Amino acid sequence: MTTVRLTAADAIVRFLIAQHVEDERSGSVIPFVPGVFAIFGHGNALSLGEALERHRGEIRTIRGQNEEAMALAAVAYGKSARRRQIMAVTTSIGPGALNTVPAAGVALANRLPLLLLLGDTFVSRAPDPVLQQIEHFGQPSTTANDALKTVSRYWDGLTSPAQLLTTLPQAIGVLLDPADCGPVTLALPQDVQAAAFDFPTSFFEPVVHRIARPRPSRDQLATAAELLRSARQPVIVAGGGVHYSLAESELADFASRHGIPVMETVAGKSSLVASHECYAGPIGVFGESAGHDVAWDADVVLAIGTRLQDFTTESGTVFKNPDVQLLSINVARFDALKRGGVAVVGDAREALAEMSHVLGDWVAPARWQDVATDSIRRQRVEVAARTARTDAGTPTYAQVIGVLRDVAAADDYVLTSSGGLPGELVMNWTSEAVATFDCEYGFSCMGYEVSGTWGAALEHSQSRPGTTVYGMTGDGSFMMLPMDVYSAALTGTDLTLIVCDNGGFNVIERLQLGHGAASFKTMLADDDHPNPPAIDFVAIARGMGADAHGVTGLDELEAVLRVCKGTPGVHVIVLEVAKHRWSEGGSFWEVGVPQVSHRPEVDQARVELVEGKSRQRMAWHP
């Protein structure tokens, strides 16, 4: 056996360079890990940093400004690539490593790939306690990286370079696994990174991975088809798994052939184009009031690639038909078995094709198709009314979205995460091309908007050059992690960020007021600070290298968007938006309203909560 003597750090880099993926989107072979986001400190600069510098012609290293931010950018990169490529992340020990915890949570909640290469203390413990080391008196082997265990799909703390021979293939396996995909954390002690070992040269030979497509069992398909044939009012709920399976065309064909309306989750948005004959709008808390009857009256629900989280299910109340039955196609058994439905465990694309074959010429009743058609017609009327330009003062979120829709091309990409924008975009953004929307709402992580826009734009520059990535953020989220405006400028990444300023965490104030509570410490202006200092978001963005504009009104917004369209660079557009004008859906969402309160309004909200909870169902079958 031929061997080569390498440090553990160099072996990691060479192994990552050797990993490739067959990309079904382009038909080409692409690097699985084209680059690494890095912030170097004493825990990773000398070994891993030295290895990355040596191989800089084979794998790109991008300097980050904040560990959480660059890890969020890596998550968005992987999502934009539909899990076909990732950017790795390396940090130093202690606070640098801990800063990645929220991003790992985002990846875990959303079933997205994230590779964290985190510096750690010394296995030898000879210099303990080292700079930035935490110490557990009764557990001396515990380090800051142990905090990542709760938010990692795969976690390994290395104690020897030889362990890379077993752990690196496992790590890549998790990152590529359709069912188990999630964050991988490798804790890399400084002395282990620096230690040398005689690795087999075959370990670094190029390999081309093909994304697995597990087929569902014939028995599961037969049971599912029988259930679907019994349906008089079926509906499809399309989740994020449709995107990761590249199953958008199969979904469109399946829905058309069998006449089934399709509603989308937050993660599943843009699974269908909005003009598709079977598109029935968003489902759940962000669903349109005009579209509720499709979900509420369904008797068989075909859920595809969805986690069935509370915003999708209206906290377990969305399907109100007493005879409703759930049928779930999911590559992950855990998700397929939720809510007691009939599980079809397998790849979404293959399952749809095979189920369509089993169903043959079966088509849902024309009367039900007419109901769905009327529902989406009424929804479009409401979207048009909300997004229409008026002279009613400060623009609403919906109106801003309408202007952006007028300017953006069909295949441009729009991204958001938290606050009021997720609901507004899900309800009011019309997708004109598939896989053009990212709302991170599995973890709803504030700050993802800026960092995620950068990460998605980096990926688009390779896979979809010429398209524009638009990030939409509120002022509160912008303040969380604004530094990746500079990261984008530093790396020459083209993107446009729209900052909607409503003076604080307005959507949480909405939550407070809507449930009988007082507005308290959610807005910048309050009883303690009636005239808070103004935040100059334009100056902040310009100071970090962006082409920044403050605009007033919708016409000026459109004019600046059109000037920026197709222009290289980082563009940041700031405008004030209305504080208390929202797109309303009228759905139930369970939140923690106090059982007793000194406020009568809260007591009434509790009554309404209890009434809503009475409609909850733990399982959707008779």
Q: Give the residue-averaged pLDDT of 148-157.
A: 98
Whose tokens are 């282990």? That residue is 192
pLDDT value at 7 more than 80: yes
The architecture in CATH of the region 3-209 reads 3-Layer(aba) Sandwich (3.40)
Highest mean pLDDT (candidates 134-138, 285-289, 403-407): 403-407
User: What integer pLDDT is reported at residue 618 of this predicted model?
Assistant: 77
pLDDT tens digits, 483-509? 999 999 999 999 999 999 999 999 999
pLDDT tens digits, 373-396? 999 999 999 999 999 998 778 999
pLDDT value at 619 more than 80: no
pLDDT tens digits, 539-577? 999 999 999 999 999 999 999 999 999 999 999 999 999
User: What integer pLDDT is reported at residue 343 of this predicted model?
Assistant: 96
User: What integer pLDDT is reported at residue 617 of this predicted model?
Assistant: 85
Cα separation, 75 vs 62, in Å, equals 15
Decide: 247 and 270 in contact? Cβ < 8 Å.
Answer: no
Whose tokens are 């923690």? That residue is 592
In the structure, what pLDDT confidence band is assigned to residue 291 with cuts at 50, 70 and 90?
Answer: confident
In the structure, what pLDDT confidence band is assigned to residue 621 with cuts at 50, 70 and 90?
Answer: low
pLDDT tens digits, 396-426? 999 999 999 999 999 999 999 999 999 999 9
Report CA-CA distances (Å) from 211 to 14, 25, 178, 204, 267.
22, 12, 8, 20, 20
pLDDT tens digits, 58-113? 999 999 999 999 999 999 999 999 999 999 999 999 999 999 999 999 999 999 99
Residues comprising the chain, all counted = 622
Q: Give the residue-averaged pLDDT of 267-283.
A: 97
Q: At what angle do helices 397-407 and 366-387 cross, to 10 degrees?
A: 100
Q: Give the residue-averaged pLDDT of 235-248.
A: 98
Q: Is the peptide bond before 395 cis (omega within 30 degrees of 0)?
A: no
Which residues is 19 bridged to in the sheet? 207
In terms of Cα–Cα distance, which of 405, 532, 535 is closest to 474? 535
Least confident of 167-171, 197-201, 585-589: 585-589
Q: Is the peptide bond before 113 cis (omega within 30 degrees of 0)?
A: no
User: What integer pLDDT is reported at residue 54 of this predicted model?
Assistant: 97
Decide: 369 and 280 in contact? Cβ < 8 Å.
Answer: no
Does this model's pTM top 0.85? My answer is: yes
**Domain residue spans of the chain:** 3-209, 218-373, 388-576
Class of 218-373 in CATH: alpha beta
pLDDT value at 266 more than 60: yes
Q: Give the residue-averaged pLDDT of 448-475.
A: 97
Radius of gyration for the alpha carbons in the chain, expressed in angstroms and rounded: 25
* In the chain, % of residues over pLDDT 90: 95
Q: Give the residue-averaged pLDDT of 460-471.
A: 96
pLDDT tens digits, 44-60? 999 999 999 999 999 99
* In the chain, % of residues over pLDDT 70: 100
Domains 218-373 and 388-576 share a fold: yes
Report CA-CA distances (Å) from 326 to 224, 227, 265, 428.
10, 9, 16, 28
User: What integer pLDDT is reported at residue 290 of this predicted model?
Assistant: 84
Report the chain's mean pLDDT, rounded to a whole number: 96
pLDDT value at 622 more than 60: no
Decide: 377 and 273 in contact? Cβ < 8 Å.
Answer: no
Just give the CATH number of 388-576.
3.40.50.970
